[in-house]
Every structure is written in C-alpha cells, then in structure tokens.
Amino acid sequence: MHIPETGSSALRLLAFLALINFVVPQCSRKSSPVIFNFGDSNSDTGGFIAGVGLDIGYPYGRTFFRRPTGRASDGRLVIDFLCEYLGTHYLSPYLDSLEPDFTNGANFAIVGATILPKYVPFNLGIQILQFKHFYNRSIELHSRGRMNLLGKDDFKNALYTLDIGQNDLSGSFGSLSYAQVIEKIPSFISEIKDAMWAIYELGGRNFWVHNTGPLGCLPRELAIRSSGNASDYDEYGCMKSLNEGAKAFNGKLQALCGELRSQMQNSTIVYVDVYSIKADLRHIIDKRVMGSLALPTLRNTMSCRSRCRSPRLRQGTELLLQQPFWGHSLNRLRGKRV
C-alpha cells in the first residue's frame, strides 16, 4: 500500500490521513498509540543535541515552540503532526536523559544520520541497535512490574516509521558521478531491508516508510553544487540530476516495500510518497509566493557560502533578507522580520 503518486497535494494529504486511519487501529495501545521513529533531521525531535551536547539556538523553534527544541526546523516536523493527529504527546528522543516519556514510544532519529556506513553513530544501523537495547530493557523491567514501560504487546502493536536516505544521496553526489550514485542505491535499500526485518523479528508489524523528497530543490544542495550550465536545472531552478537520483532511490524503496509485504506475514507496510507531496509544494511556492513577490527561482535562494555562518545571519531577523543570501530581489523586504 502506498500514497498515490498522482493528483494534487490536497488529495495526497487526504490519502495520507486516510492511511493513518487505516494503520493506527491496528497498532493502538489502550488509549494511546505507540510510535518508534528512525531517521535523520527530517524527524529528529532533539536526539542530536542530547547526544552531542550542541546548543542550537534561534531561529530554530521560533514559529511554534517559541524556543529551540533540537528540531532542525523553525516549527514542528511531520512526526509531530502525526503524534498530534493520533492524540498522543510528541516523541521523546531516545538519547534524552532529562525527563523523557517513553510511554508512547521513542524517537531514534538523529540529524545527519545516514544508512551507510552501517555502524557509525548515529546511522540507521546504530539506531536499530539502540532500539534492540530499548526493547530488551523495556521487556525486562515491564516483567518486573514497571507498568509505565512498554511490554511485548505494545511493541507488536506499535507503528514503526522510517524516513532516511536523503543524506546518503547528498553525500554520494558530492564525490561520485551520477552513474556511480545510482549503482550505490541498492546497498542503501539493502540496509533498510535489514532494519525492517530486525524490527519485524522483535514483533513489529506496522511500518510507515517515507521516500525521500526532491533533493535537487534543497537550498543547501543548490548552494554547494552551483552550476553555470542552465540545462542542469529544471523550470523551478532545481538540479535535475539530484532529483533523478532521488526518484531512482524511491523506485527501489517502493519495490522493497512491495517485496516485504509478500514476505512479512500479518504485517502492514505503507509506502508514503513524500517526494510528490513536496514537489507539489514547490509548485505552490513558485506560483503563489515567487510569482506574487517576483522572487528568484530556487536556484538563487542560497548562494551565501561562508556568509551563512556570520553572526548577523545567525540572529535570524535578516537570515533570508541579505543580498548575498537571496540575491538582489528581496531588497524591498529588508528590515522585516521573517
């Protein structure tokens, strides 16, 4: 089962919610669902700063939490909206030592995590090892009467979400040719397969697997891979080769989900087409924002290089307003808070 790849973003979001309604009744625990999440910055809710002690400040967290929370975002992540929709509190990072609440699961995702190399902190292989440790300790303590911890049935009925692969593709494109990147994709998919089997062998039966988004549209990628050849970019200013690489990865990932559905008995595996949803958002931004404000295309949105690390840019109020950052098109917006 997967979210359709055609149609408007609104239809895809409706399908997204419909699939949640399909999966969650099968993975509910009493009155609160249990979720275990694995991934990178797209779903890290504070694991990275807990693990390395790095203080991440403003503008992170400014739009919702009103303070930095360890999320690589100015607000909530998809995993947060999922928790809200299911009526449960946000997932505690597995590495958080200060008042974590694991009654509704745990978040193993870490900023910068990749699929390979396998056993490098905090890549997918390490996240799975952490989950196994969490599982064994929870079962042990639950059997001793610690009823505030999860038992076997909770792990069996839980929802397991995976969102990883973006950093592997980005790193590969940084040192390899397009053909070599495509050759590496099966090795990434193989590790995801091993991870899902490891979860399945511990009783997990409900999987929610995100594909990767349009890599070639990310401002960071556009900044570090600038090209003077206009043919390298699509009509929205996104790099074609990176997006094609993401599509190749997604095709293999979708095939894996189909393969595992036939092998993992009594399981539910949902493949979520995040790429198409984000691509639709790109179209909306181009038409409603870039069109109305005469902003530059995505290719021109991040050309700051070292200037991105300057103290003035880190203050946040002019983060997107500096001429070296966006180009000359936002001069008339200078001074407004973003």
What confidence score (pLDDT) does residue 147 get? 86
Q: What is this structure's pTM?
A: 0.81
* Same domain, yes or no: 248 and 335: no
The tens-digit pLDDT sequence of the chain (338 residues) is 555 444 455 555 545 555 555 555 555 445 579 999 999 999 999 999 999 998 888 889 999 999 999 999 999 999 999 999 999 999 999 999 998 999 999 999 999 999 999 999 999 999 999 999 999 999 999 999 998 899 999 999 999 999 999 999 999 999 999 999 999 999 999 999 999 999 999 999 999 999 999 999 998 899 888 777 889 999 888 999 999 999 999 999 999 999 999 999 999 999 999 999 988 886 666 554 444 333 344 444 444 444 444 443 333 323 332 322 223 332 322 333 32
What confidence score (pLDDT) does residue 23 get? 57
* Same domain, yes or no: 108 and 164: yes
* Same domain, yes or no: 77 and 185: yes
238's tokens? 């996104």
- Dihedral (CA of 9, 232, 215, 275) sign: positive
* Same domain, yes or no: 201 and 319: no
Give the DSSP H or E segment for 260.
Answer: helix 240-263
Q: Is residue 189 part of a domain?
A: yes
Alpha carbon distance 206, 160 (integer Å): 6
- Dihedral (CA of 65, 69, 74, 80) sign: negative
Q: Is residue 253 part of a domain?
A: yes
Q: Is residue 173 part of a domain?
A: yes
Which structural domain, as residue segments, surrounds residue 217?
A: 9-299
What confidence score (pLDDT) does residue 17 get? 55
Q: How many helices (H) and strands (E) does the chain have?
A: 13, 5
Q: Is residue 122 part of a domain?
A: yes
Structurally, the chain folds into a number of domains equal to: 2
* Same domain, yes or no: 322 and 276: no
Alpha carbon distance 107, 92 (integer Å): 6
The DSSP secondary-structure symbol of 288 reads: I
Alpha carbon distance 242, 234 (integer Å): 11
What confidence score (pLDDT) does residue 295 get? 36
Q: What amino acid occupies position 330? A: L
Q: Residue with structure tokens 């239809």?
A: 11
What confidence score (pLDDT) does residue 55 get? 81
259's tokens? 């393969």
Q: Is residue 3 part of a domain?
A: no
What confidence score (pLDDT) does residue 307 get? 40
CATH code, 38 = 3.40.50
Alpha carbon distance 20, 85 (integer Å): 9
* Same domain, yes or no: 207 and 89: yes
Q: Is residue 2 part of a domain?
A: no
Alpha carbon distance 331, 270 (integer Å): 45
Q: Is 71:77 a contact under the CB 8 Å cutoff?
A: yes
* Same domain, yes or no: 258 and 328: no
- Dihedral (CA of 147, 151, 153, 158) sign: positive
What confidence score (pLDDT) does residue 337 get? 32
* Same domain, yes or no: 94 and 187: yes
* Same domain, yes or no: 273 and 317: no
Q: Is residue 197 part of a domain?
A: yes
Alpha carbon distance 210, 16 (integer Å): 11
* Same domain, yes or no: 292 and 308: no
Q: Is residue 1 part of a domain?
A: no
Q: Is 318:326 a contact under the CB 8 Å cutoff?
A: no
35's tokens? 């979720």
What confidence score (pLDDT) does residue 226 get? 76
* Same domain, yes or no: 146 and 234: yes
Alpha carbon distance 96, 209 (integer Å): 24
* Same domain, yes or no: 294 and 310: no
